[in-house]
């Protein structure tokens, strides 16, 4: 473990904090993905008329479950239907 300057941390210390940062980011992303899946699943429980009121349909929800940007996809489809 070598220090470049007396005031700097060792490269091992920098690596462990970087690893911790990546781990925290991974858990945050996993938690957000889970929350999104739960929200989309709860929307699937609505009847077709309620989904129509929201400007989406079941196909949109299934597509949104397979994309990382589900909110954007649903918004785009809702906007397209409003114009039509």
Given the structure tokens 């397979």, which residue do they identify?
A: 66
Residue 69: CA count within 13 A, CB half-sphere: 5
The model's confidence at residue 8, banded by pLDDT at 50, 70 and 90, is low
Q: What does the block give as tokens for 2? A: 């070598």
List pLDDT tens digits, range 55-73. Answer: 999 999 999 999 989 999 9
Range name among 10-14, 18-22, 50-54 with the lowest pLDDT average: 10-14
What predicted TM-score, i.e. pTM, was given to this entire model?
Answer: 0.65
Helix (H, G, I), strand (E, B) or coil at 40: helix
pLDDT score for 84: 74
């Amino acid at each position: 473990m070598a220090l470049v300057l007396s005031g700097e941390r060792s490269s091992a210390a920098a690596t462990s904090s970087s690893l911790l940062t990546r781990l925290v980011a991974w858990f945050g992303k996993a938690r957000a993905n889970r929350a999104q899946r739960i929200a989309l699943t709860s929307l699937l429980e609505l009847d077709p008329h309620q989904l129509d009121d929201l400007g989406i349909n079941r196909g949109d929800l299934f597509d949104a479950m397979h994309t990382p940007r589900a909110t954007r996809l649903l918004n785009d489809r809702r906007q397209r239907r409003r114009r039509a």
